[in-house]
Chain A
Amino acid sequence: MNPKQLASVILMSFIGIITYVGQIVHQKVESMKTAAQVAIDESKAADDAKQLADILLTKTKGETDELRRFLKSWTPSIQKVQTEQEMEAAVEYTLRERGISLVKSRKSETKTIAGDLFMPKLIIITITLEDEYAKVLNWLGDLEKRLPLARVIACQLTGGSSVRQIQLSVTVENPIVNLSASVGNKEAPKRS
């Protein structure tokens, strides 16, 4: 091989190397372009997901606004009576306020509602008292006003020891509400 041929071979080799390197670089650029496009697509998908979440949130806010305001308005009443002692105190206060002294019997107990995280306990008070008709019914009204969450589960009015007197036997249950409980998918609560 003479020097001219050798020079030609070397130049051709250079051309080959340059072309090869050019191709490699081009492939890398193409792969980077593809990666960038994938990232852009993913970003758009994330943006769509964000918009969807925003729409759902706005919809939920609109649909549940009334209920949430309801809960908010009842929160002070819920926080007012959270123990058996507080409920006893409320009963005591209303009796004292109405001047009813003849309480024939009084019993209180706490029931646990298994599986209910929001209302895990119920305080049940059964009270039997006797006094004038107006006093007794006003006391019942006071009690229901003072314990707005309480549920009168039984109420019996019968004649008292004299014509002017009536006897009232009432059973009231008040839930202990745990506002911080995480209420989600839970089993149906069972009373124990």
Chain B
Amino acid sequence: MSDYLCHDFKTPRNDTSRRLPDSFKAIPALFYLALVVTAYFMTMDWRAYKKAEQDKIQAEASKGQHETKTKDLQTEKVGLDAETAKAEILAKWMEGARNVQPISVAIARAMPTEVRLSDLSLERSDQVPANLALSVRINGGSLREVGLMESGLSRLQYRSYAPQQSKEGDVIQYRSTLIRAEQ
């Protein structure tokens, strides 16, 4: 054997640096564990983020659609309300625009041939246009003609309110307010 053989490698040596405490040996394991756990949570978070982002976009789009539709419906309702308001005004007008010719004819027809109508006046009330102020002068008539006239008017759905009649000689003066009876 050569004298130069060296066995120094197998001889125990003192550490060049001091050993770490045992608890510190867990640090690399902890590092790898932290990497794995973080990778897991990051992946889950990433997926959750993407899903939430997609949900948000979908919800916002859906909200926009709902709002547009709501606006359309509200606009349509406003249009209907306006149309209804116009119809109500017109209906109110028409209520006070019923024909007066049938009334004149009914009164004239109610008079017998020997009786003469010398004056017939119909005036619409300013406050309630559906009401008509009637004034009639009957020559050579009696209360019977007044009754005939009133029954003729009732056939047209009108009734006399506060009728007044006076007789001066052969002339009967009759006044009343004609109110249309509700159907």
CB < 8 Å A-B pair total:
198
Cβ of A98 within 8 Å of any chain B Cβ, yes or no, is no
Cβ of B96 within 8 Å of any chain A Cβ, yes or no, is yes
Instruction: From the candidates B17, B87, B124, B129, name the one contacting A3 in the complex (CB within 8 A).
Output: B17
Pair A39/B55 contact, Cβ less than 8 Å: yes
Pair B48/A70 contact, Cβ less than 8 Å: no
Pair B41/A22 contact, Cβ less than 8 Å: yes
**Which of B74-82, B153-161, B162-170 makes up part of the contact surface?**
B74-82
Closest B residue to A140 using CB positions: B101
Query: Given that A5-B20, A144-B99, A157-B120 are contacting pairs, would A36 and B52 also be in contact in the complex, using a CB cutoff of 8 Å?
Result: yes
Pair A64/B87 contact, Cβ less than 8 Å: yes
Q: Which of the four size classes fits the interface of chain A?
A: 35 or more
Pair B59/A42 contact, Cβ less than 8 Å: yes
Cβ of A150 within 8 Å of any chain B Cβ, yes or no, is yes
Closest A residue to B91 using CB positions: A70
Pair B101/A175 contact, Cβ less than 8 Å: no
Pair B104/A11 contact, Cβ less than 8 Å: no
- Where chain B touches its partner, the secondary structure class is helix
Pair A19/B38 contact, Cβ less than 8 Å: yes
Q: Which of B20, B56, B117 has the most CB of A within 10 A?
A: B56
Cβ contacts under 8 Å, B102 to chain A: 141
Pair B124/A47 contact, Cβ less than 8 Å: no
**Which of B5-13, B63-71, B142-150, B174-182 makes up part of the contact surface?**
B63-71
Tell me the complex Cα distance, A68–B69, Å. Answer: 23
Query: Given that A11-B27, A42-B59 are contacting pairs, would A74 and B97 also be in contact in the complex, using a CB cutoff of 8 Å?
Result: no
Cβ of A106 within 8 Å of any chain B Cβ, yes or no, is no
- Where chain A touches its partner, the secondary structure class is helix
Pair A152/B77 contact, Cβ less than 8 Å: no
Pair A39/B63 contact, Cβ less than 8 Å: yes
Measured CB to CB, the closest approach of chain B to A191, in angstroms, equals 9
Tell me the complex Cα distance, A57–B93, Å. Answer: 27
Pair A71/B52 contact, Cβ less than 8 Å: no
Cβ contacts under 8 Å, A33 to chain B: 48, 52
Tell me the complex Cα distance, A175–B42, Å. Answer: 77
Tell me the residues in window 61-87 of chain A with beta carbons closer than 8 Å to chain B beta carbons: 61, 64, 67-68, 70-71, 74, 78
Cβ contacts under 8 Å, B100 to chain A: 140, 144, 152, 155
Q: B83-122, CB under 8 A of A: which get 1 and which 0?
A: 1111111110110110111101100100000000111111
Pair B87/A43 contact, Cβ less than 8 Å: no
Pair B34/A36 contact, Cβ less than 8 Å: no
User: Interface on A for B, CB 8 Å cutoff?
Assistant: 2-5, 8, 11-12, 14-15, 18-19, 21-22, 25-26, 28-29, 32-33, 35-36, 39-40, 42-43, 46-47, 49-50, 53-54, 56-57, 60-61, 64, 67-68, 70-71, 74, 78, 118-119, 133, 137, 140-141, 144, 148-159, 175, 177, 179, 181-184
User: Interface on B for A, CB 8 Å cutoff?
Assistant: 17-20, 24, 27-28, 30-31, 34-35, 38, 41-42, 45-46, 48-49, 52-53, 55-56, 59-60, 62-63, 66-67, 69-70, 73-74, 76-77, 80-91, 93-94, 96-97, 99-102, 104-105, 108, 117-124, 129
Q: Which 4 A-B pairs have the closest CB atoms?
A: A46-B66, A2-B17, A39-B59, A71-B87
The 11 sampled A-B contact pairs (Cβ below 8 Å) are: A8-B20, A14-B31, A18-B35, A19-B38, A33-B52, A36-B52, A53-B73, A60-B80, A137-B101, A155-B122, A179-B86
